[in-house]
Amino acid sequence: MVTGKRPLGWSVLVALTNGRTRIPDDRLAAAVQGKVVLVTGSSYGIGEATAKRLARAGATVLLVARTADQLEMVAEEIRADGGKAFTYPANLAEPTAIEELVAKVLAEHGQVDVLVSNAGKSIRRSVADSYQRFHDIERTNSVNYLGPAKLVLELLPSMRERRQGHIVNVSTAGVRTPPMARWSAYLASKSAFDVWLRCVAQEVRDDGVTTSTIYMGLVHTRMSEPTPLLNKMPGLTPEQAADQVCAAVADKPHNITPPFVRPADALGNLFRVPTDRLFEQYYRRTDRPRKEQP
Ligand SMILES: NC(=O)c1ccc[n+]([C@@H]2O[C@H](COP(=O)([O-])OP(=O)(O)OC[C@H]3O[C@@H](n4cnc5c(N)ncnc54)[C@H](OP(=O)(O)O)[C@@H]3O)[C@@H](O)[C@H]2O)c1
């Protein structure tokens, strides 16, 4: 996590690059009071901050992640604060675990009004370092694409039947900006779920089920911490990121996109070859230490 003093104007830079979509407490409370919201990846980071904010606003939050102890700690904090939280430890990389999870949740709560699909796994590794690591591609796909898709498949029938439901996908700005070296496994898996959900959204909207995708900028969490370059860059706190997720829950926008992403997306598409060459140059420069090894 990033600590220490930041230069003057840092928070403005953070807002300009990552956006600062906010939602006032009263509007959030009006939207989620008494609603059942399932938040995946709520043991740490953005998911934890989101679950806490939603519970403070009066939602019943269902916490899903693998680490049972950590989930229970988050739930305890929520309950101590007067909120309602229930824990459902599950590995979203396992389709049968998802089937069991949804069966249990629907039996115990009757419905899920909002799904926040937030759990994710990030990997930053060059292809040269991945020849023996096909499992990187398998793992990112199972947590970032196949698991979330399976969870939506399990929840959609009851949402469509009730003609009510909202799905929030915590995606990344990286699926909208030009592809970058070393992020192949992560960005391909996040892109897959983004496209899958956008196709599905067109089919279910008529049945009262809506979707929002957040093309999240940089957030300083456990996920971004291992990459030193990211630690020096302007990023949101988990609470600021949770603000965006809660705005998506309450206002149901089609998407939330940081300011820099739209021009980067447009320019990247318009100048595809030069953009790829530019990133290629960057990769070559930063790859030098490894190349110099015997
Ligand atoms: N941090 C950023 O800069 C950034 C930027 C853009 C988008 N995002 C997206 O934001 C989301 C949250 O990331 P974060 O930064 O908050 O990361 P984080 O602190 O590492 O949290 C990831 C969460 O996902 C859960 N998770 C991972 N694998 C799982 C699995 N197999 N089954 C169930 N839960 C699993 C983790 O819990 P357990 O380990 O307990 O299972 C944890 O609660 C991710 O989808 C990420 O792609 C992050």
d(CA 83, CA 71): 15
Question: What number does the ligand 1 atom closest to the CA of 186 have?
Answer: 47
pLDDT of residue 13: 84
Q: Which two tokens stand for residue 82?
A: 């007067």
Phi, psi of 46 (to 5 degrees): -60, -40
Our answer on whether the CB atom of 44 is closer than 6 Å to any ligand 1 atom is yes
pLDDT of residue 294: 41
What is the residue-wise DSSP string for 200-215?
A: HHHHHGGGTEEEEEEE
Q: What is the pLDDT of residues 112-162, one digit of tens each?
A: 999 999 999 999 999 999 999 999 999 999 999 999 999 999 999 999 999
The structural domains of the chain, with segments of one domain joined by +, span: 10-292
d(CA 137, CA 141): 6
Q: Which of 219, 240, 243, 244 has the alpha carbon at shortest distance from 1?
A: 219
CATH superfamily of 10-292: NAD(P)-binding Rossmann-like Domain (3.40.50.720)
State the pLDDT confidence band at 229, using cuts at 50, 70 and 90. confident
* Distance from Cα 237 to the centre of ligand 1, integer Å: 14
Our answer on whether the CB atom of 93 is closer than 6 Å to any ligand 1 atom is yes
Our answer on whether the CB atom of 52 is closer than 6 Å to any ligand 1 atom is no
Quick check: is 283 catalytic? no
Residue 187 has pLDDT above 80, yes or no: yes
Our answer on whether the CB atom of 216 is closer than 6 Å to any ligand 1 atom is yes
Q: What is the mean pLDDT of residues 236-247?
A: 97
* Distance from Cα 213 to the centre of ligand 1, integer Å: 16
Residue bearing tokens 């291992």: 226
